[in-house]
């Protein structure tokens, strides 16, 4: 009798999970085309690179407060990275859902990222892994971001691709330490060649996240870009800028960035993802 009940519960959970997966896929397809109509359009394009599992995940959530886009880059063997990435993304998007007004995006990033870190650690148990996590928020007036790990965020404005985020890697940490006087010039030069991440969700001793120093005022035509290692390690900023300058739709721009990365030869390629957000700025808000 107990075995029958357990089998029944297992079947029910499987059906429920399958329903969520199908719903998520349907929502993602809808998001890729016309999500965020009030504050901008969001699209995503991806490549697996040379890897067997796609551990990059992205999602969008829109409300009267604005639009939140989330990009994750899972870390770990087998499917560990993907599970961590899914946990982190779901946590941040779920935390955003109740908001109809968001007065302090930076505080939201810090609290939701910390909650996501705790959930990722519980999910990991004794396994080794984690995830990088980036989130961008637009409300028709300003752009804010939060970041843990090594995901790049940039702003395409006036035909120029402008780096926005610094990233939480050892070379950035060394440069900051040099500017603060904590490292010598030679020590900084040695460390600048090291691009390993020093902070990510799921690690012991998770540190403060990177947030923008001050909100970035949006201008008409702005495109916000988030990308993972399989893109920014393979394409130069000039190559990415050239593609964004083309007279393509937003989705065609994202797909072209992926195709250009896939064409590159002679380098080992990580999972690569591009999220583009075309900000909508009303005349009344300018």
Which residue is associated with the tokens 């002679």? Answer: 266
In three-state secondary structure terms, 9 is helix
Average pLDDT for runs of 10 along the chain of length 286: 36 34 36 49 93 94 93 92 96 96 96 97 90 95 94 95 76 45 45 57 88 91 96 95 96 97 89 93 56
- The whole-number pLDDT of residue 3 equals 35
Instruction: Count Cβ atoms below 10 Å from residue 5 Cβ, excluding itself.
Output: 9
Q: What is the pLDDT of residue 39?
A: 63
Q: Which domains does the chain show, CATH number per domain?
A: 55-166+198-279 (3.60.40.10)
Strands 216-217 and 152-157: unpaired
| Cβ–Cβ under 8 Å, residues 62 and 69 | no
2: left (phi over 0), alpha (psi -120 to 50) or beta: alpha
Residues 227, 273: contact at Cβ < 8 Å?
A: yes
Residue entry with tokens 């910390």: 114
pLDDT score of 127: 84
CA atoms within 13 A on the CB side of 97: 8
Q: Write down the pLDDT at residue 282.
A: 67
**pLDDT number for residue 35:** 46
DSSP symbols for 75-106: ESSTTHHHHHHHHHHHHHHHHHTT-S--S-HH
| pTM of the shown model | 0.79
> What distance lies between CA 285 and its chain's CA centroid?
27
| Cβ-Cβ contacts under 8 Å for 98 (sequence gap 6 or more) | none
**Long-range contacts, 237-244 (Cβ 8 Å, 24+):** 237/161, 237/163, 240/154, 240/161, 241/156, 241/159, 241/160, 241/161, 244/156, 244/161
Confidence at residue 11, expressed as pLDDT on a 0 to 100 scale: 38
């Amino acid at each position: 009798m107990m075995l029958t009940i357990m089998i029944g519960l297992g079947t029910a959970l499987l059906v429920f999970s399958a329903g969520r997966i199908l719903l998520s896929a349907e929502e993602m397809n809808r998001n890729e085309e016309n999500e965020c109509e009030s504050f901008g359009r969001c699209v995503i394009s991806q490549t697996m690179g040379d890897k067997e599992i796609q551990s990059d995940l992205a999602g969008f959530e829109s409300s009267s407060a604005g639009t939140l886009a989330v990009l994750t880059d899972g870390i770990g063997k087998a499917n560990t990275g993907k599970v961590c990435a899914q946990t982190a993304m779901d946590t941040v998007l779920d935390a955003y859902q109740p908001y109809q007004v968001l007065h302090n995006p930076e505080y939201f990033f810090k609290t939701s990222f910390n909650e996501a870190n705790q959930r990722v650690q519980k999910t990991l148990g004794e396994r080794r892994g984690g995830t990088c996590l980036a989130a961008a928020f637009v409300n028709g007036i300003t752009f804010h971001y939060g970041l843990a790990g090594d995901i790049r965020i940039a702003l395409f404005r006036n035909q120029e691709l402008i780096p926005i985020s610094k990233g939480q890697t050892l070379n950035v940490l060394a440069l900051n330490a040099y500017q603060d006087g904590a490292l010598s010039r030679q020590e900084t030069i040695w460390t600048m060649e090291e691009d390993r991440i020093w902070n990510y969700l799921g690690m012991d001793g998770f540190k403060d996240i990177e947030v923008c120093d001050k909100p970035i005022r949006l201008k008409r035509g702005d495109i916000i870009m988030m990308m993972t290692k399989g893109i920014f390690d393979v394409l130069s900023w000039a190559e990415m800028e050239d593609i964004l300058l083309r007279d393509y739709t937003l989705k065609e721009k994202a797909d072209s960035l992926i195709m250009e990365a896939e064409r590159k030869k002679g380098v080992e390629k990580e999972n690569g993802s591009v999220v583009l957000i075309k900000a909508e700025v009303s005349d009344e808000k300018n």
